Every structure is written in C-alpha cells, then in structure tokens.
C-alpha cells in the first residue's frame, strides 16, 4: 500500500472515529433522558464498540513493536501496553456503571 493511501485511510478512520464519538455524545444529551445516556454508553462500551477496538489496536501495536528491531521498540511497546491497560480499566468502569444507570432510565 502506498504512503498516500495509508495517510488517506488514517485521515478517514480518524474522522470516522471522531464522528462516531460526537454522535454518541450528542445522543447522550439529545433529550435529557437517562435512556439516551445509557444507550450512548452501551454503544461505546460494547464488545464491538470503539473502546474495545482501541484496546485491540493497542494490543496489536505493542505485539508488533516487541518484534521490531529498534532500541526504543521495547519501551514504546511497554507504554502502548500501559495505555491499553488504562483503556481496559476505563472500559470496565463504564461497563460496570451501566447496571446502575439502567434502572434510572426506566
């Protein structure tokens, strides 16, 4: 794949991710109802949601860096793994709050 294609795909993916998160944010405040917030958080934290994909991305990037022969590759892999862990913790916390919010939405 050419560099321009990678740059173009990166830009499109970034715009799509930002657009999806903005849409979820708008959904969460659309009508001032708790059900909208629950729906947005559910979409964000689902097994196929953006946070799960971000965890997968960090895991893949860290795994790739471990095999990359460069003096800073191991340090970079460690930092990406740390970031992935932080995202996983945030994902778990958001997932755990959903059962508390659902009764408020009814």
DSSP 30: S
Question: What is the span of the domain harbouring residue 15?
Answer: 3-105
Residue pLDDT, tens place only, 27-83: 777 777 788 888 888 888 888 888 888 889 889 988 888 888 888 888 999 999 999
Domains held by the chain: number: 1
Model's pTM, two decimal places?
A: 0.74
Q: First vs last Cα of the chain: how many Å apart?
A: 50
Element (H, E) at 15: helix 3-29
Q: What is the token pair recorded at 1? A: 């794949």
């Amino acid at each position: 794949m050419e560099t321009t294609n990678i740059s173009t795909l990166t830009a499109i993916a970034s715009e799509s991710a930002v657009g999806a998160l903005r849409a979820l944010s708008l959904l969460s405040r659309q009508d001032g109802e708790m059900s909208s917030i629950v729906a947005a958080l559910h979409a964000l934290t689902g097994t196929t949601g953006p946070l799960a994909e971000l965890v997968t991305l960090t895991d893949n990037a860290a795994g790739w860096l471990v095999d990359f022969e460069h003096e800073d590759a191991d340090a970079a892999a460690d930092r990406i793994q740390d970031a992935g862990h932080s995202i996983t913790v945030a994902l778990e916390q958001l997932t755990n709050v959903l059962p508390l919010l659902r009764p408020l939405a009814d």
